[in-house]
Structure 1
């Protein structure tokens, strides 16, 4: 006769499947972070050829055309009415708000300074997720998240000399709207594929992004340079669509708080890309901060 404990214990197959799903979700979320880490350098490139309003509007239109084409080709049905408010939050935060605010900030801020946004984003996303979904991460999780965020903020502020500029207002506003978009997107990705979440959010923005692109392109100067076109294509297809596809899928698999902590590595990746692509420099504190951040990530993943 089997005891109650042996009858209710998870089977080895179930445990293995859970670990595989968690590993896959972590890998997808990490791919999203890698894609996002190129967003600020690519935006800086894009600003070499386009004005800020043109860059944001055109990137949204291009990403929406790709997403809409995929939705049509696969004959995906329209989202249910009950999902429209959440999709509107994703559209306002991730498709419009964050790109516009950070692009305006990068006109006067370096990418190193702007990285403070993504340094604080994991903590903000975890807080909004707890408020929105009712999740209650452990105390160890919160301590590690706070420590990691503090390390990233200290590093990025030190890189910018500690000076606060007018761009900081844009950056902190971008932080809040993006965290809201991530939280709603991660929640919706539990009931529909992640690529459909960002796909429908992009399509919903077309009535705004198309006329905005037409007006911006006629009112702002445009110089078709190699950097400008490459930057535009990356922020439209890499950051705005493909990156969010894998990111939302990863969040749906491993949970919003845990996935958000992987973004603690994003500022350091952004600094590396900034050095390689933009010629920006950072101090020897980078490897020390990287180790501290990785430790914090390891703790949050085990909490």
Structure 2
């Protein structure tokens, strides 16, 4: 799902495809989770997110990109709906539905669809480097949305990270951007918007309820989309394809953010964000192990450079 920086919820359950840090500073929820177990939960969340792209590639073995996105959304919504129903969670207030629509459009539909389309022509490792820019993109969206003004050092680091990703993308695409690259950059924008709105909502309701209600909001469209897409896109079920779609639906979209938000609630955003800096590098490792991809020398170098820029923004953002 693909995930990254997000605001901390006030509850003990959580969910989405990586998180949005509040540009202004630390937000911690009241929690009884010990720091050690909180760190472990956050690490489990990062591990779940790091497998999103390889799992999407596996899912594309069995489903077309539109079918994959719709089916994963339906499965994730059924899981989230079960939790909401079992815990008798009341409906969100009317003022919350607009931001929830942005979360659904960005995180539930936009990011999975655009990355699935990109991964038809791009490698998982290539996508991991490009989408490694997501925390910086989200921070920029959050700064604009909240009206807060990060320091000049923050913007320099963010600009440097963007320049590294653009240079890497152009060099790996033969000197010009390909359709897969455009999909990935579009995914950055819609996901950052979804994370920004979700981060704001997570101050008013538990983070798992934010993604849960966003999934429920998208369920009717995902159900209709599944019926239409499955009628037009061939389905070739394979063990890898089934594992891939189940992983991105249940683990990346629900379980990953369940443990991630609980971990953040225990140890705070800043500390959790440092753990997430390794996510693109983990995805590169999984791409080699699970997909047999051969990494170009520039991929790990660019990933590390982006991580350094993100680390700088984490320290100088306010």
TM bucket, shorter chain: 0.7 to 0.9
230, 236, 242: which one aligns with 1:229: 242
Give TM-score, length-normalised by structure 2: 0.77
Taking a change above 3 Å as real, the CA distance of residues 161 and 239 of structure 1, as seen in their structure-2 partners, is farther
Aligned partner of 2:107 in structure 1 is: 94
256, 265, 273: which one aligns with 1:243: 256
Alignment of 1:152-301 (within 5 A): 152-155=165-168, 157-159=170-172, 162-246=175-259, 265-285=278-298, 288-289=301-302, 291-301=304-314
Aligned partner of 1:75 in structure 2 is: 88
Aligned partner of 2:150 in structure 1 is: 137
> Is residue 30–residue 262 contact of structure 1 (8 Å, CA) maintained in 2?
yes
Taking a change above 3 Å as real, the CA distance of residues 149 and 269 of structure 1, as seen in their structure-2 partners, is farther
Taking a change above 3 Å as real, the CA distance of residues 133 and 215 of structure 1, as seen in their structure-2 partners, is same
1:235-276 deviation line (CA, Å, top 9, x unaligned): 101222223445566778856x99778765433322221111
Please give the alpha-carbon distance, in whole angstroms, between the structure 1 residues aligned to 2:232 and 2:35. Answer: 48
Tell me how large the CA RMSD over aligned residues is.
3.1
Higher Rg: 1
- List runs of 5+ in structure 1 lacking aligned partners: 1-16
> Is residue 116–residue 152 contact of structure 1 (8 Å, CA) maintained in 2?
yes
Please give the alpha-carbon distance, in whole angstroms, between the structure 2 residues aligned to 1:250 and 1:81. Answer: 29
C-alpha deviation, 1:31, in angstroms: 4.8
* Greater Cα shift, 151-160 or 225-234: 151-160
Q: Which has the higher contact order (CA 8 A, sep 6+)?
A: 2
Give TM-score, length-normalised by structure 1: 0.81
Is 1:110 aligned to 2:137, yes or no?
A: no
Aligned partner of 1:14 in structure 2 is: none
Please give the alpha-carbon distance, in whole angstroms, between the structure 2 residues aligned to 1:302 and 1:72. Answer: 40
> Is residue 113–residue 157 contact of structure 1 (8 Å, CA) maintained in 2?
no
> Is residue 54–residue 286 contact of structure 2 (8 Å, CA) maintained in 1?
yes
- List runs of 5+ in structure 2 lacking aligned partners: 1-29
> Is residue 22–residue 254 contact of structure 1 (8 Å, CA) maintained in 2?
no
Please give the alpha-carbon distance, in whole angstroms, between the structure 2 residues aligned to 1:177 and 1:139. Answer: 25
- Larger % of helix: which? 1
Please give the alpha-carbon distance, in whole angstroms, between the structure 2 residues aligned to 1:203 and 1:162. Answer: 42
C-alpha deviation, 1:169, in angstroms: 2.5
Aligned partner of 2:5 in structure 1 is: none
C-alpha deviation, 1:157, in angstroms: 5.0
84, 106, 125: which one aligns with 2:138: 125
C-alpha deviation, 1:285, in angstroms: 4.6
Aligned partner of 2:315 in structure 1 is: 302
Q: Secondary structure at the match of 1:144?
A: helix
